[in-house]
Homo-oligomer: A and B are copies of this chain.
Amino acid sequence: MLSKAQVKYIQSLSHKKQRESEGMFIAEGPKIIHELLNEYPAGIRHIYATRDWINDQQVPGNIELTEVDSAGLERISQLKTPNKVVAIVRQFPEKSAIQVRNHFTLVLDAIQDPGNFGSIIRSADWFGITQVVCNHECADIYNPKVVQATMGSIARVRVMYTNIEDWLQKNKDVRIYGTGLQGKTVNEIGILKEGILVIGNESKGIDEKVLELVDEVITIPKKGKAESLNAAVATGIILAFVCLRE
């Protein structure tokens, strides 16, 4: 049975401040919970799920498990269409340091739309990129809409928030790429085993001061008339070219 205190606690985690002070976040839906059970079982504190989900699933004994009916699920879900299971999960431990040598690292400058942000984390995971550095103008990785859009990749990609200008300054010995409307085309770049790629804000692009630290701008040639591409789509295209093109 779901207590009033539990409902209140879960609802409180929709607010960033509360997530930060508790060090927790909410994850929802069988797919994401499945990935978290595989990749980060020690982080899951409490699972609230419908009987059919519970019957289908092995849940380690150290995780609290509460059966809820569909009305209960609706009270704790952040989704328009609640989907069987909600989990309260500990935020990931801070990554001590990002390895830039021999790695490809993604840097996000003010990616604010939760759907775009989550999609980018998912694309990074698809292309084997496991570290993403963000400035504080980016969406919160633990925002329920971001968690949802990562489709479970949140369990595998480490996201660090910092002042990206200072961070890039410290890592200038690795080649820094940025996205822009004029530069070398994605076709000309070739596979990159090492590098840092900066993705700019949805409408303003890369901040001027950050752009000064970029060694090479990569552009996606336009064949038609749209003024720009969606930021998550543009990121996916560049990652595909620099990770796959031989």
Contacts and interface: CB of A to CB of B under 8 A. Distances in A.
Interface in A51-109: none
24 contacts: A119-B232, A119-B233, A122-B226, A122-B230, A126-B223, A126-B226, A126-B228, A127-B224, A129-B224, A151-B226, A152-B226, A153-B225, A156-B224, A156-B226, A186-B240, A187-B245, A187-B246, A229-B236, A230-B232, A230-B236, A232-B233, A233-B233, A233-B236, A237-B240
Interface in A117-160: 119, 122-130, 149, 151-153, 156
Interface residues of A, number: 43
A173 interface: no
A243 interface: yes
Given A153-B226, A224-B128, A226-B122, A185 B232 contact: no
A115 interface: yes
Interface of A: 31, 115, 119, 122-130, 149, 151-153, 156, 185-187, 220-230, 232-237, 240-241, 243-246
Nearest to A202: B151
Contacts of A225: 125-126, 128, 153, 156
A144 B230 CA distance: 17
Nearest to A123: B233
A127 B221 CA distance: 8
Nearest to A240: B237
A122 to B, nearest CB: 5
B230 A119 contact: yes
Contacts of A152: 226-227
A141 to B, nearest CB: 15
